[in-house]
Amino acid sequence: MEYRIEHDSMGEMKVPADRLWAAQTQRSHENFEIGVGIETMPKEIIHAFGVLKKAAAITNNKLRPEKMTDEKLGAIIAACDEVMAGKLNDHFPLVVWQTGSGTQSNMNSNEVIANRGNQILGKTLLHPNDDSNMSQSSNDTFPTAMHISAVLILEDKLIPAVEELIATFKRLEEENEGIVKSGRTHLQDATPIKFSQEISGWRSSLEKDVELIKRAVDPLRELALGGTAVGTGLNAPKGFDTGVAEEVTKITGKQFVTASNKFHALTSKDELVFAHGAIKALACDMMKIANDVRWLASGPRDGLGEIFIPENEPGSSIMPGKVNPTQCEAVTMVAVQVMGNDVAVTMAASQGNFELNVFMPVCIYNFLQSARLLAEAIVSFNKNCAVGIKANKEKMHHNLHNSLMLVTALNPYIGYENAAKTAKKAFKDNISLKEACVELGFLTAEKFDEVFHPEEMA
């Protein structure tokens, strides 16, 4: 491998000749061989750095044109556009497990943008610290990248995924409106419910989750940029913070504002904890829905068998013909991961000391993983399972009329205790509710038929 020599304030470093990073990135790359190639800084953070560095350069050009010249600005914008497009992802090798402020990833961005800008210019003009990082500090850029990436992934990936599944459930509600089935509570038979009503519970849960996530997005629109090292804004010109927020808004098409208190913005991660709580709520509901679906589809002969779901792949290496509810299982595993991530996000956010939180990389790594995995699992579940859910009407009808809890309809006519006696006798003697009620002398056969209508109980 060929190398070139780069230097920083600590001296010279050998850097692979074909890479755009420089000395500080190389030091981190060598000093933190933890999860290399697996747990690298999320691409969403790299994209967000492209956004904020572009916004900062544009604002600096307006406020400090003598330092951020038009020539420098053009080169930085071109490099940042490539970063945002993902064209330079191979030049961001750093792992999550680095300094807790994300300083090395900020410098990774500074070095790549400066070196790529110089390539575009055909000369050495840009300096990573003096130009790419002008008016900034790692301490305000990394939390800014966290908020930008969080807003983008929630609004552009997670919410749309949930809304697609909501649309599927709405269609299934309409298709299954007239079907009545046995309800279940405590995994025991309960009074009847329409299948459409059961689906509406799934749909409404997801609608509530989307509402909660949208509420959680708004606090994330506040950006720390402009606070620089400790929140005082040292070395940033007046108006830089508001100017950057305006430029980030233009670049992303999302509304962003400068944080009203930069001391809070640098050290507290409460907005991310709150938003991840909404993600966790969605994970909880998806766990419930996926479990409902696989229970209802259990069988094919010895389970509930009340719905059919798509058969996507063989389910066993030894049992021929076995098909498993794999999409449901994937969703439940992702839900467990999200719940675990919530602990990591919570713990990371609690570790702010004085003017800075130093658990930021692990905080946003888990946050973004939760949003990404959950979005992709929901898309997969919708496409490969939910859209193909079909009611097994015959099995639903059989289970409905075999349920002892239909005896609840008799309460107004024979009372709770006599109804309980009827149900217990029917179960013990393995006879119908009608036979038990008549044998106990509570109702005549004719009166029983007059008042007993399971389909009307939903």
Same domain, 195 and 338: yes
Confidence check: pLDDT of 318 > 90: yes
Q: Please give the pLDDT value at position 414.
A: 97
Quote the percentage of the chain above a pLDDT of 90: 96
- Domain end (from 377, 394, 411): 394
Residue 63 sits in a domain whose CATH number is 1.10.275.10
> If you average pLDDT over residues 329-356, what whole number do you get?
97
- Domain end (from 346, 364, 394): 394
Same domain, 381 and 419: no
The C-alpha angle 180, 398, 438, rounded to 5 degrees, equals: 100
What residues contact residue 415 under an 8 Å CB cut-off, 6+ apart? none
Any domain includes 15 = yes
User: Is 316 noted as a catalytic residue in this protein?
Assistant: yes
Residue from 50, 110, 111 nearest 251 by CA? 50
Q: Please give the pLDDT value at position 1.
A: 85
Any domain includes 250 = no
Q: Kindly report, residue by residue over 61-105, the tens digit of the pLDDT.
A: 999 999 999 999 999 999 999 999 999 999 999 999 999 999 999
Backbone phi, then psi, for 225, in 5-degree steps? -55, 130
82 or 454, which is more confident: 82
Distance CA 113, CA 91 (A): 10
DSSP for 200-244, written as a single string: HHHHHHHHHHHHHHHHHHGGGGEE-TT-TTTSS-TT--TTHHHHH
Q: E-assigned strands of 17-108?
A: none
Any domain includes 231 = no
Same domain, 304 and 357: yes
Same domain, 22 and 162: no
- Domain end (from 394, 411, 441): 394
Same domain, 429 and 356: no
Q: Please give the pLDDT value at position 297.
A: 98
Same domain, 386 and 427: no
Any domain includes 251 = no
Same domain, 431 and 342: no
Rg over CA atoms, the chain: 30
Count up the domains in the chain and report the number. Answer: 3
Residue 361 sits in a domain whose CATH number is 1.20.200.10
Any domain includes 254 = no
The C-alpha angle 358, 219, 57, rounded to 5 degrees, equals: 70
**Catalytic member of 7, 127, 138, 186:** 186
> If you average pLDDT over residues 199-218, what whole number do you get?
98
Q: Taking a C-beta distance cutoff of 8 angstroms, is the pair 220, 204 a contact?
A: no
**Catalytic member of 7, 204, 316, 453:** 316
Same domain, 310 and 214: yes
pTM of the model: 0.94
Work out the pLDDT band at 358, boundaries 50, 70, 90. Answer: very high
Residue 448 sits in a domain whose CATH number is 1.10.40.30
Helix, strand, coil in percent for the chain, rounding step 5: 65, 10, 30
Any domain includes 276 = yes
Confidence check: pLDDT of 352 > 90: no
Give the DSSP H/E element, type plus range, for residue 106. Answer: helix 103-121
Any domain includes 230 = no
Same domain, 126 and 12: yes
> If you average pLDDT over residues 406-414, what whole number do you get?
96
Give the DSSP H/E element, type plus range, for residue 189. Answer: strand 188-194
Any domain includes 139 = no
Mean per-residue pLDDT of the chain: 97
Q: Taking a C-beta distance cutoff of 8 angstroms, is the pair 98, 25 a contact?
A: no
The conformation of residue 456, written as its DSSP 8-state character, comes to G
Same domain, 170 and 215: yes
Q: Taking a C-beta distance cutoff of 8 angstroms, is the pair 286, 335 a contact?
A: yes
Q: Please give the pLDDT value at position 101.
A: 97
Work out the pLDDT band at 36, boundaries 50, 70, 90. Answer: confident
> If you average pLDDT over residues 179-194, what whole number do you get?
97
The residue type found at 382 is N
Same domain, 128 and 209: no
Domain that holds residue 415: 403-457
Q: Please give the pLDDT value at position 306.
A: 98
Same domain, 354 and 269: yes
Work out the pLDDT band at 229, boundaries 50, 70, 90. Answer: very high
